Structure 1
């Protein structure tokens, strides 16, 4: 007789995952078991487990899989041994069968998202957060950051407007069909925060991320919901000329692009969400790539290993890939370091590019001099 697979919470407890809170729908939020959550914010978590589908995804580092692969990776065993240890030898993890949520073409997603953002506002607190990061008002407006509407009637009105202007919302991540007393109607996910557009090399908005008021980021996704779709975890490209920098997150990439005076940045969905980056680099015709993951690469073994694996993969694909790092006391991310230069809190910073010191000085623009020390 087949043994039923244990439920999600039982497996999470067995693995010692730290519960944070219940998420939307069938999802539960935990602290990331791969150590990417900030220790200074113990009540935040980015690791989502869907009890119905058994899928797992970290919205910060980008790790994804299911409960079986999670158990196998954390316990350092193969899937067969994991299934045995979980007491489900005869009943592998099979998510409920459902019709696949097909994603709409990027051209349609771009049209919907642009129209959507054009009718939304940016709350004062969200604008202040973007200004604090170093962006100016013109860039904030052009980049399309907007607050996520919270009022249900406003959401429904916006959805009806989008249907009138753009046609169907089926397959556009974030939107889904709901059932009410008077029939079906369109709605969208509304976590408290603001939208960050994720663009492809042609400037099309292929997805949206949400910077949460509570901290952290999630994808604007409606996977598993009627007529909805997963957003996937596509890389974001800022545009620009010169060697391409790769960092964590679209907002970080936007800020670094602005503060550097226009250097091209790719923002991944996390240190484990880099699969699509080599193909993007090929489309850009890039050769030199600088990987600027956050400074916790020095204290977090999982981040460091992901960085090393990513650079090796880029080299296998023919790119001249190098790591870019900086003194940890200057900031966690590349955007934090550039902001200190931009605000003249420091006059120069010495980065290490594969161990070679490169000093960046703040003048009218950012100037680079190789091999010089910090002033």
Structure 2
């Protein structure tokens, strides 16, 4: 129970740390740019918000911190309350999830551990503890072999997980092998022995090479060969691969997700920086998965979606490259760099980028806000950006649509047209009710914006049929 709850809080924390601090401070809290809220500041320019570093800094009074510290100081609340407040604002969690988490009897004890972990990361910088990309890739390459590293008895995928991928996800053996899905291994002494041996045989690594690899951490004070261990939760491991096919992170599809819990979590170990018992934990970051088609028929087209099952379905069906961001807020860290790298690798720019988030953008303001910011950031490319949408009756995600044979129900319009029309809808609703859109939706529900979407935005897509 403790590990599940810790990993839930850690997943929320990872997503909160990826939100735009500029959006939070300037739009959500509506502060005047350049003026510090922590002293009687009358001269714009002393207060800087650095989105790239996710920090704010006042050159006059010296106040500095991240989004979580800003909310703590502004609201006068504790660390976990600030994390969940931001998470609720950006739709990362629901009120029900927060209530369920807070109802746990060990809530304060577990959260204290994570707070100390986060404070350590904030002071020392996550990047300083992260292993080199090639080391991460090599370690996770062995780890993603699952218990097949145990000679003679281990399997990469359990029967249950293989059936899920084949029968529910309708994946072929080739597709399963291409991504490299595996069952998260148990943390047994037997597995760790074979894992470390495989790591040494393949790459010449000893246990110390696990330092800085997301998901792994060391038991403090333990000097044995098996001092390092890892986050082990029963589920399907999903390798996140870069444009070279190298693994840079692992997502876990949990076998059991209780009410209010997320089904998908990162393999992360930043919770493990408890100064009493554990050390050398590392966060997952938010690596972007690059799905490469077997035959790239449209090298000048790039798709962007949320989730690996979706990007792989896109790459197969549309025969073009697709990027998967793991969570609507998580594009900020690597998306622009990844697009640049892909263009450099293929030696020509993309001419069209097609964004395919879930159909619930019609009622989910958080999906729209993330999409809007992402489209704005991609304008540095000389490319036409489109947004594709379909009605929810045909499937929530594009993978559902493709599996059900409703591809002809997918239409696209200019992303600028989509964003400007959606923004006008929001302005209209705010003017009508005399309050900010999030307050309106809190009082009247998401159905209000969905009705406006059907009236003003849906017809724009239907014209393209």
Same fold by TM (over 0.5)?
yes
Provide closer, same or farther for how the CA distance between residues 316 and 24 of structure 1 changes in structure 2, counting only shifts above 3 A.
Answer: same
Counterpart for residue 141 of structure 2: 114
Aligned Cα RMSD in Å? 3.5
Any conservation in 1 of the 2:312–2:322 contact (CA below 8 Å)? yes
Pick from 271, 279, 288 the counterpart of residue 337 of structure 2.
279
CA shift at 1:354, angstroms? 3.2
The list of structure 1 runs, each at least 4 consecutive aligned residues, that deviate by more than 6 angstroms after superposition, is: 68-75
Query: Distance between the aligned counterparts of 1:112 and 1:47, measured in 2?
Result: 22
Between the aligned partners of 1:150 and 1:311, the Cα distance in structure 2 is 41
- Unmatched 5+ stretches in structure 2: 32-36, 39-69, 83-114, 148-155, 258-262, 273-278, 344-349, 418-461
Task: From 331, 353, 356, give the equivalent of 2:395.
Answer: 331
Which residue pairs with 1:76 in the alignment?
29
1:64 aligns to 2:4 (yes or no)? no
In 1, Cα distance between the equivalents of 2:8 and 2:464? 49
Matched, 1:220 2:173: no
Q: Secondary structure at the match of 1:57?
A: helix
1:221 touches 1:230 (CA, 8 Å); kept in 2? yes
Alignment of 1:1-375 (within 5 A): 23=3, 29=9, 48=12, 56-58=13-15, 63-64=16-17, 76=29, 80=38, 82=71, 83-86=73-76, 96-97=119-120, 102-120=129-147, 121-131=156-166, 132-165=168-201, 166=203, 167=205, 168-179=209-220, 183=224, 185-215=227-257, 216-225=263-272, 226-240=279-293, 241=296, 242=298, 243-258=301-316, 260=317, 262-275=319-332, 276-285=334-343, 286-341=350-405, 346=406, 348-354=408-414, 373=465
Q: For residues 16-53 of structure 1, what are the alpha-carbon distances to aligned partners after superposition, in whole Å with 9 as ceiling and x for unaligned? A: xxxxx855585654xxxxxxxxxxxxxxxx953xxxxx
When residues 250 and 182 of structure 1 are mapped into structure 2, their CA distance, relative to the original with a 3 A threshold, is same
Choose between structure 1 and 2: higher helix proportion. 2
What is the CA–CA distance in structure 2 between the aligned matches of 1:141 and 1:181, rounded to whole Å? 37
The answer (yes or no) to whether the contact 1:160–1:186 under 8 Å persists in 2 is no
Q: Which residue number corresponds to residue 41 of structure 1? A: none
Deviates more, 1:181-190 or 1:288-297: 181-190
Contact 1:176 1:227 in 2 (8 A): yes
Q: Distance in 2 between matches of 1:300 and 1:293?
A: 11
Using the alignment, how far apart are the partners of 1:264 and 1:27 within structure 2?
Answer: 32
Q: Calculate the TM-score normalised by the size of structure 1.
A: 0.70
Residues of 2 paired with 1:306 and 1:75: CA distance? 14
Is the partner of 2:177 in helix, strand or coil?
helix
Instruction: Please list every run of 5 or more consecutive structure 1 residues that lacks an aligned counterpart in the other structure.
Output: 1-20, 30-45, 49-55, 357-369
* C-alpha distance 210-221 of structure 1, shift in aligned 2 (>3 A): same
2:88 aligns with: none
User: What TM-score, normalized by structure 2, do the two folds share?
Assistant: 0.57
From the superposition, tell whether residues 218 and 116 of structure 1 become closer, same or farther in structure 2 (CA, over 3 Å). same
Evaluate the alpha carbon distance shift between residue 47 and residue 289 of structure 1 in structure 2; reply closer, same or farther with a 3 A threshold. same
When you count strand as a share of all residues, which structure comes out higher?
1
Asked if structure 1 preserves the Cα contact closer than 8 Å seen for 2:305 and 2:311, the reply is yes
Once residues 349 and 97 of structure 1 are traced to their aligned partners in structure 2, the CA distance between those partners, rounded to angstroms, is 49
User: 1:347-368: CA deviations, max 9, x gaps?
Assistant: 8434233399xxxxxxxxxxxx
Aligned partners of 2:218 and 2:280 also within 8 Å: yes
Q: Are the structure 2 counterparts of residues 71 and 314 from structure 1 closer, same or farther at C-alpha, using a change threshold of 3 Å?
A: closer
Does structure 2 retain, via aligned residues, the 8 Å contact 1:171–1:228?
Answer: yes
State whether residues 247 and 267 of structure 1, in contact with CA within 8 Å, keep that contact through their aligned partners in structure 2.
yes
Does the C-alpha gap of structure 1 residues 155 and 177 become closer, same or farther in structure 2, counting only changes over 3 Å?
Answer: farther
Sort the Cα spacing of 1:181 and 1:187 in 2 relative to 1 into closer, same or farther, 3 A: closer
Contact 1:289/1:322 (8 A) holds in 2: yes
Rounded to whole Å, the distance in 1 between the matches of 2:221 and 2:310 is 39
Say how many residue pairs are matched.
Answer: 304
